[in-house]
Amino acid sequence: MSLPIKENIYYVGAQDVERRLFDALIPLPDGTSYNSYIIRGSGKTALIDTVDPTKTQILLDNLKALGIQKLDYIIAHHGEQDHSGSIPAVLKVYPSAKVVTNQKCKDELIDLMMISDDKFMVINDRETLSLGDKTLEFIFAPWVHWPETMLTYLREDKILFTCDFLGAHLSTKELYFADINKLYQSAKRYYAEIMMPFRVSIKKHVETVRSLAPTLIAPSHGPLHNNPAFILDAYQDWVSDTVKNEVVIPYVSMHGSTQAMVDYFVKALEGKGIKALPFDLAEADIGELAMALVDASTVVIGSPTVLAGPHPKAVFAAVLANALRPKTKYVSIIGSFGWGGKMVEQLSALLPNLKVEVLAPVLAKGYPKETDFKGIDKLVEAIYNRKQ
Ligand code: FEO
């Protein structure tokens, strides 16, 4: 099914409603889509990105239904397979098409998809390509979220194709999504999981997009944005250095001792008017955890000592937080132990990317007692008094 966007510009991508996991890691509560677009110029026809290899046939059927007999260019913004995985199949049907991309992406596509060298047309940053009455301008946007990523601006129609950037894992049959709150949450989840580690680069790219003043943003996941300010303002907030006085508490408890500490901690924080966001790692959606990390000033990991170290689920949370590089300012650890161990040292060593102040941890021997709860009170006081 293709959908018209503007005259001679069509959506030809595929929905993946059933998909529930991305990268064998990220939960997809609302599925996702692999957006692909056809631009028919007066002289040439270009396909913007392809789809995940599992959906190749849908893309090919969409192109056929539109009557695309000759394809001149396949614009590859990004080497990752969910957008480039169908390029070999498209090239089989349209053998004269050239894959238009930058040198880095070309190298990736040769490595990942074994596309032969003669199929490529390599372009430079800000180079243009004429389709006749329509002009494509390529804008390199490295680290969104790979080093080769780029955007394409369709000048005459003021449409910016952004691939992963400004997207959302949200499957919908509509080009535009009416429920703006839902779209905001999906876009934030997507930012948290994929873009947040590259916050510094993303800041610059947000400015670049604003300077182009597109009237339509067409990413390669999720709905299009016919109000670019909505998504750009949201990104500006997320990438800013401003944090909220919120405490994210990823925790795990085996026999209730750490749970009792977390419960007390949450209540004490709320008593001071500080928002507490506890995530029981035994069942937490890590996408929700990632979203909470976007704004929070403080992360406190709760874990029992198991086999002389932190619980493996707490290790996972620490590794994840370290990889996502949130703008967190303060970190601490609470939990219980039976006979000793190196939990604090081991967890702290897993967070080298976070440029944070470490607040005094609170460790209880066995079930927490009066002195341990006093320690938690002190931790809450320290969080309360820190500058945000
Ligand atoms: Fe949607 Fe980085 O691929």
Q: How many CB atoms lie within 10 A of CB 69?
A: 9
pLDDT score, position 21: 86
Comparing CA positions, the residue from 323, 318, 316 lying closest to residue 299 is: 318
Number of the ligand 1 atom closest to the C-alpha atom of 164 = 1
Do strands 296-302 and 216-219 pair parallel, antiparallel, or not at all (unpaired)? unpaired
Q: What is the dihedral of CA 164, 167, 171, 172, to 10 degrees?
A: -130
> Are the CB atoms for 50 and 100 separated by under 8 Å?
no
Q: 78 C-alpha to center of ligand 1: Å?
A: 7
Q: Domains along the chain?
A: 3-239 (3.60.15.10), 244-385 (3.40.50.360)
Ranges of residues in the chain whose predicted pLDDT is under 70: 387-388
Q: Which residue, 237, 268, 233, 266, is CA-closest to 249?
A: 266
Residue 316 and residue 311: Cα distance in Å, rounded?
Answer: 9
CA of 149 to the centre of ligand 1 (A): 10
Q: Which amino acid residue places its CA nearest to atom 2 of ligand 1?
A: 80
* 3-state helix/strand/coil string of 21-34: EECCCEECCCCEEE
Name the closest-CA residue to atom 3, ligand 1: 80
DSSP string, 207-265: HHHHHH--SEEEESSS--BSSHHHHHHHHHHHHSS--EEEEEEEE--SSSHHHHHHHHH
Q: Are 79 and 112 in contact (CB under 8 A)?
A: yes
Decide: helix, strand or coil at residue 331: strand
Question: What pLDDT is attached to residue 388?
Answer: 66
Using the mean position of ligand 1's atoms as its centre, give its distance from the Cα of residue 272 in Å: 41
For residue 320, the CA-to-ligand 1 centroid distance in Å is 19
Ligand 1 within 6 A of 295 CB? Answer: no
Give the number of other CB atoms < 10 A from CB of residue 360.
11
**Residue 82 in contact with ligand 1 by CB distance below 6 A:** yes
Residue nearest to atom 1 of ligand 1 (CA): 164
User: Two tokens at 190?
Assistant: 């997507």
Q: How far is Cα 141 from Cα 151, in angstroms, rounded to an integer?
A: 7
Contacts of 116 (CB under 8 A, 6+ apart): 110
Which DSSP string do the residues of 44-81 spell out, in sequence order?
A: -EEEE----GGGHHHHHHHHHHTT-----EEE----SH
What is the amino acid identity at position 23? D
Our answer on whether the CB atom of 83 is closer than 6 Å to any ligand 1 atom is yes
Is residue 80 in contact with ligand 1, taking CB distance under 6 Å? Answer: yes
- The structure tokens listed for 227 are 């109000």
Continuous H helices in the chain? 56-65, 81-84, 87-93, 103-113, 180-190, 199-212, 228-239, 257-271, 286-293, 312-324, 343-349, 370-385
- ∠ CA 246-248-253, rounded to 5°: 145
C-alpha 375 – ligand 1 centre gap (Å): 44
Exposed (0-12), middle (13-18) or buried (19+): which is 342, by Cβ within 10 Å? middle
Distance in Å, CA 52 to ligand 1 centroid: 10
Instruction: Tell me the C-alpha distance between 378 and 367, whole Å.
Output: 18
- Our answer on whether the CB atom of 193 is closer than 6 Å to any ligand 1 atom is no
Q: What is the pLDDT of residue 339?
A: 83
How far apart CA 4 and CA 66 sit, in angstroms, is 10
Nearest atom of ligand 1 to the alpha carbon of 81: 3
